[in-house]
């Protein structure tokens, strides 16, 4: 599967609720900065909406949320099936790790 295939979407996602949801609360310096960098980078390949809480991205047929807090960046993955959930989590986590590579290794535990 090529990288360009990871970032496709259907317009129906905008008004759908997802059955599968996993979150990771990542302790990180400057969560707003890293959240914005992650969302901005991914927005070049998938639709992104800025909200009052952070950013929402349509990844494949799922949704990724990037929500900065006080000393923590919350990543949320939502999907209708396990395969899509794995892809959404991988995209969010892999890119955050790349941007934060100069920091101490990130502890990203999905629940």
Helix, strand counts (H, E) of the chain: 3, 5
The sign one gets for the Cα dihedral 8, 10, 16, 18 is: negative
Ordered by start, the domain boundaries in the chain are: 19-99
pLDDT at position 16:
60
pLDDT at position 104:
83
- Give the Cα separation of 51 and 20 in Å (integer): 21
Q: Which pTM does this prediction carry?
A: 0.84
pLDDT per residue as tens digits for the range 48-93: 999 999 999 999 999 999 999 999 999 999 999 999 999 999 999 9
CATH architecture designation of domain 19-99: 2-Layer Sandwich (3.30)
Structure tokens at 18: 């997802």
- Tell me which residue of 68, 53, 65, 52 sits closest to 13, measured CA to CA: 65
């Amino acid at each position: 599967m090529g990288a360009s295939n990871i970032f496709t979407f259907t317009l129906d996602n905008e008004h759908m609720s997802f059955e599968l949801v996993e979150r990771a609360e990542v302790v990180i310096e400057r969560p707003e900065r890293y959240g914005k960098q992650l969302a901005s980078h991914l927005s070049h390949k998938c639709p992104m909406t800025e909200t009052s809480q952070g950013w929402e991205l349509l990844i494949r047929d799922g949704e990724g949320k990037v929500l900065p807090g006080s000393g923590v960046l919350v990543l949320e993955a939502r999907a209708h099936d396990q395969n899509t959930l794995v892809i959404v989590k991988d995209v969010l986590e892999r890119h955050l790790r790349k941007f934060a590579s100069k920091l101490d290794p990130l502890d990203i535990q999905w629940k």
